Amino acid sequence: MRFQTLIMIMAAVAALVLNAPDANAQPTGSISGVVLSPTGEAASDAEVRIVALGRVAEVDREGRFTFENVPAGEYLIQTSSPRHGEAVERVTVDEGATLEVTITASALFHVDDIVVTAGPQGLRRSELLQPANVLSGRKLADRQQPQLGDALAREPGMNATYFGPGSSRPVIRGLQGDRVRVLESGIGTGDASDNSPDHAVAVEPSTALRIEVLRGPATLIYGGSAIGGIVNVIDGRIPFELPTRPFSGFVEGLAGSVANELNGKVVLNGAAGRVAFHGSFLGRHTGDYSIPGFADVDHDHEQEEGEPLEEGGHKEEEAFGVLSNSAIKTLRGDVGVSWIGENGYLGVSFSGYASDYGIPVHGTHGEGDELVEGGAHGEGEHDAGDGISIDLDNRRFDFAGAWRFAGFFEELRGRAGFNDYRHFELLGEEAMSRIDNERFETRIEAQHKIARPLNGTFGFQYFDRDFGAAGEEAFAPPTDTKNWALFLYERIAAAGDRLNFEVGARYESQDVRELSSDFQRDFGSVSASGGVNWRATDPVGFYLSLGRNAKFPSAEQLFSAGPHPATQQFEIGDPTLTTESSINLDVAVQAIRGPVTGSATFFVNSFNDFIYQNLTGEEEDGLSVAAWTQDDARFTGFEIEADIEVFHRDAHHIVLRGWTDYVQAKLTATNEPVPRMPPLRFGGGVHYDQSRWRARVDVLRATEQDRVSETETPTPGYAMLDASVGYRFFTGGLVHDVSLVGTNLTDELARNSVSFIKDQAPLPGRDVRIVYRLSF
């Protein structure tokens, strides 16, 4: 039924596009210019794009480019050069005029990143009213990890759930689960990662074009529950612009030491006439991860390697230096095709993601339970050390389109996706439970412009999710969730663009039905937020945002009632849970240009009826009982980061980087800590960039987390040393990148206080990896 709905939406949008009025009927002008290197030479290998229009041009040997018939208006122009760097400029095109621009490429330290997720047309970071993190290009390549959470965990304000290397979801300001929306090019991933930390995020960060993390008013476009923020993985599998060459892409290979990792990927883009296509494939294989010592926090560290544990140990002998049952096998493939016209595009894609990964926990699971699909085990408790693993398969079909118009409505955008997700939780070779998650999601946005200072978007979003768990050790009953929302986002510029305002509002309705009993809960609420950005001087600005968000309880939080072996918990929902609401305040100062750049952000999130999972201290079927409950809570904290350029001569840049973040969360009625909070962290390093060469040395210091709930153990502090060096060279039209990347070089024993299994699974030990990428 959902697939039929998707086909109907595709047909309706295609009919609208084919009969749409011509956007070229509006007044037009031209853009002509030149792209220069940092030393003033022609950047003859650069590409230039008009971001909002999806138009791309290559420069000639003199670095010159031209765009004809550009609708009058304001645009962001982005240039990228493999040899010389990037640049972003905002320009205004007047009717009948040719705008002449000179763009100077710069090292990534100085680039004012475009944040596509920030609003109707995308904005520069300096124009935002909220903090944003952007990973792309070489920075993203250096952060390659098997899971999205670990790839982002060293960004200010961000951590990871870390349920072993095979499953790690982003945590923002101590908030996780469905309070952090993970998107693929604007709509949800459709996996089951937001309902339990042992469920992997079914996206591949290493094939992404860019990853954007955003908080503030614009997040209302994507979901009222996204109180923590949104993480948008933009992978380009549905092309929206015509490539400048018939074929382009890259081939990459990676070898890492911490788990004997081998990783290979291929990405191919191309065009034939008005048809653009994309294809990618990734394969990853790792063994069990190395760790500096024993995995269990209760292990007597004075005992000799290989000596049997004393009575009460979980095994007769624990492996030294290895995180048992942490290996990963992953395959990912995408194919997409689009028809691209002068004023928009229509495209489809299909993707498949399969991952088989271990859950590095030990203990027990339920007594005398039946295994799925006819398998059986005997009565009594079973040692999960025999090997709990997850066999995951996710298949996804997407449709996207956009069309630009003349008049009040500037652009109509739509995207829809259907996910068929399932995974088995295995004990050895036998399946204990099966989880199915079918999800259909669509969103339609109408971008409008009332006058030059006022523009925005309003739209509609809908998803329908069928979730079910089968088997005696299934922790949740079959449920159906239907959610729809109307949203509005407006941006107003004043005082010559030095003063900008944003407002956002969203009405959201959700119905959750437990299928076996036909019991249903209905929810509805309004979320709203607003903010102001004051550019006091050219390099320095201040912003403030205030919002009210509503989060509805999920089906699992309402109806869970069973054992979940992977988390070692007997999970119990509460069908009487009510809507959670929060008041969120952000205040920040930001410096974008000059030798010192950075930001300092302070935030307060005050929750009414905060929904969280509480360990009761009781046991059921040999498992700890974890009950979903509600209390008022308050989260306060800060994120501070700064880059100081200490040397700049020609293409040579040396930058000192420093940052710190902190969040304190408490239940206001009792002053007790909210479980699983990150500690105070400090980071810093030295970064060097010279077009061909780049190098960095970074240190991360996490302090002890001793502010913990009654059922948690304190987490010791740790310090990690990371370093990398990379070299880029050219042969004809080919670009070669070779990188040597080291993480945790001092082989520090570190535990993540956010993780459910921190006492059994420390973070990986020393890792040295070599990466080679050939771009063409």
Q: Please indicate, yes or no, whether residues 284 and 302 belong to a single structural domain of this protein.
A: no
60-106: pLDDT as tens digits: 999 999 999 998 888 889 999 998 888 888 899 998 899 999 998 88
Task: Give the whole-angstrom CA distance, residue 285 versus residue 332.
Answer: 12
Q: Please indicate, yes or no, whether residues 163 and 303 belong to a single structural domain of this protein.
A: no
Q: Is residue 10 part of a domain?
A: no
Q: Which of 397, 395, 399, 396 is nearest to 348 (CA)?
A: 399
Q: Which of 102-116, 195-209, 478-492, 653-667 has the lowest mean pLDDT?
A: 102-116
Q: Which H or E run contains 467?
A: strand 454-470
Q: Which of 20, 46, 144, 141 is nearest to 101 (CA)?
A: 46
Q: Is residue 22 part of a domain?
A: no
Q: Please indicate, yes or no, whether residues 282 and 306 belong to a single structural domain of this protein.
A: no
pLDDT, average across residues 35-49: 91
Q: Please indicate, yes or no, whether residues 233 and 85 belong to a single structural domain of this protein.
A: no
Q: Is residue 218 part of a domain?
A: yes
Q: Is residue 119 part of a domain?
A: no
What single DSSP character describes residue 60?
-
Task: Give the whole-angstrom CA distance, residue 304 versus residue 282.
Answer: 41
Q: Say which CATH number the domain at 423 has.
A: 2.40.170.20
Beta bridge partners of 280: 267, 334
- Where do we find the tokens 């999130």? 605
Cα 31 from chain centroid (whole Å): 34
Q: What is the pLDDT of residue 690?
A: 85
Q: Which residues are within 8 A (CB) of 393 and not within 5 positions of it... i.e. 6 or more apart?
A: 352, 353, 354, 421, 422, 423
Q: Say which CATH number the domain at 66 has.
A: 2.60.40.1120
Q: Please indicate, yes or no, whether residues 70 and 97 belong to a single structural domain of this protein.
A: yes
Q: What is the pLDDT of residue 732?
A: 87
Q: Within the chain, how many helices (H) and strands (E) appear? A: 4, 45
3-state helix vs strand vs coil in the chain, percent to 5: 10, 55, 35
* SS3 of 98-119: EEEEEEECECHHHCCCEEHHHC
220-230: pLDDT as tens digits: 888 888 888 89
Q: Give the residue with greater pLDDT, 260 vs 652.
A: 260
Q: What is the pLDDT of residue 373?
A: 39
Spatial contact of 615 and 568, defined as CB atoms under 8 Å apart: no
Cα 273 from chain centroid (whole Å): 33
Q: Give the residue with greater pLDDT, 435 vs 38.
A: 435
pLDDT of 242 higher than 60 = yes
Q: Is residue 263 part of a domain?
A: yes
Spatial contact of 739 and 255, defined as CB atoms under 8 Å apart: no
Backbone angles phi, psi at 385, to 5 degrees: -65, -15
Give, in order, the Cα–Cα distances in Å from 158 to each of 153, 170, 705, 706.
5, 7, 16, 19
Spatial contact of 35 and 58, defined as CB atoms under 8 Å apart: no
Q: Which H or E run contains 139?
A: helix 137-142
pLDDT of 549 higher than 70 = yes
Q: Please indicate, yes or no, whether residues 493 and 616 belong to a single structural domain of this protein.
A: yes
Q: Which of 194, 226, 322 is nearest to 605 (CA)?
A: 226
Q: What is the pLDDT of residue 463?
A: 96
Spatial contact of 50 and 662, defined as CB atoms under 8 Å apart: no
pLDDT of 32 higher than 50 = yes
Q: Which residues are within 8 A (CB) of 7 and not within 5 positions of it... i.e. 6 or more apart?
A: none
Q: Please indicate, yes or no, whether residues 74 and 147 belong to a single structural domain of this protein.
A: no
Q: Give the residue with greater pLDDT, 546 vs 137.
A: 546
pLDDT, average across residues 125-142: 80
**Lookup: tokens for 277:** 């296509």
Task: Give the whole-angstrom CA distance, residue 82 versus residue 85.
Answer: 6
The boundaries of the domain holding residue 306 are 296-324
Q: Above pLDDT 70, what percent of the chain?
A: 90
Q: Above pLDDT 90, what percent of the chain?
A: 61
Q: What is the pLDDT of residue 47?
A: 94
309-348: pLDDT as tens digits: 444 444 445 678 999 999 999 999 999 999 999 889 999 9
Q: Give the residue with greater pLDDT, 166 vs 592.
A: 166
Spatial contact of 395 and 362, defined as CB atoms under 8 Å apart: no
Q: Please indicate, yes or no, whether residues 81 and 139 belong to a single structural domain of this protein.
A: no
Q: Please indicate, yes or no, whether residues 569 and 597 belong to a single structural domain of this protein.
A: yes
Q: Is residue 676 part of a domain?
A: yes
Q: Is residue 689 part of a domain?
A: yes
Task: Give the whole-angstrom CA distance, residue 491 versus residue 130.
Answer: 13
Task: Give the whole-angstrom CA distance, residue 701 versus residue 769.
Answer: 22
Task: Give the whole-angstrom CA distance, residue 121 versus residue 76.
Answer: 9
Number of structural domains the chain divides into: 3
* SS3 of 229-293: EEEEEECCCCCCCCCCCCEEEEEEEEEECCCCEEEEEEEEEEEECCEEEEEEEEEEEECCEECCC
273-313: pLDDT as tens digits: 999 999 999 999 999 999 999 999 887 444 444 444 444 44
Neighbour tally for 531: CB within 10 Å: 22
Q: Is residue 588 part of a domain?
A: yes
**Lookup: tokens for 65:** 């480019």
pLDDT of 27 higher than 80 = yes
691-726: pLDDT as tens digits: 889 999 999 999 999 999 888 899 999 999 999 999
Q: Give the residue with greater pLDDT, 60 vs 408.
A: 60
Q: Please indicate, yes or no, whether residues 401 and 311 belong to a single structural domain of this protein.
A: no
pLDDT of 513 higher than 90 = yes
Q: Please indicate, yes or no, whether residues 96 and 159 belong to a single structural domain of this protein.
A: no
* Range 702-709, long-range pairs (CB < 8 A, 24+ positions): 702/678, 702/750, 703/679, 704/679, 705/677, 705/678, 705/679, 705/753, 707/664, 707/673, 707/677, 708/673, 708/675, 708/677, 708/753, 709/614, 709/615, 709/672, 709/673, 709/674, 709/675
SS3 411: strand
pLDDT of 363 higher than 80 = no
The mean predicted confidence, pLDDT, of the chain is: 87
* DSSP track, 148-196: HHHHHTTSTTEEE--SSTT---EEETTB-GGGEEEEETTEE--SSTTS-
Neighbour tally for 492: CB within 10 Å: 16
Q: Please indicate, yes or no, whether residues 602 and 537 belong to a single structural domain of this protein.
A: yes
- Where do we find the tokens 């740790």? 718
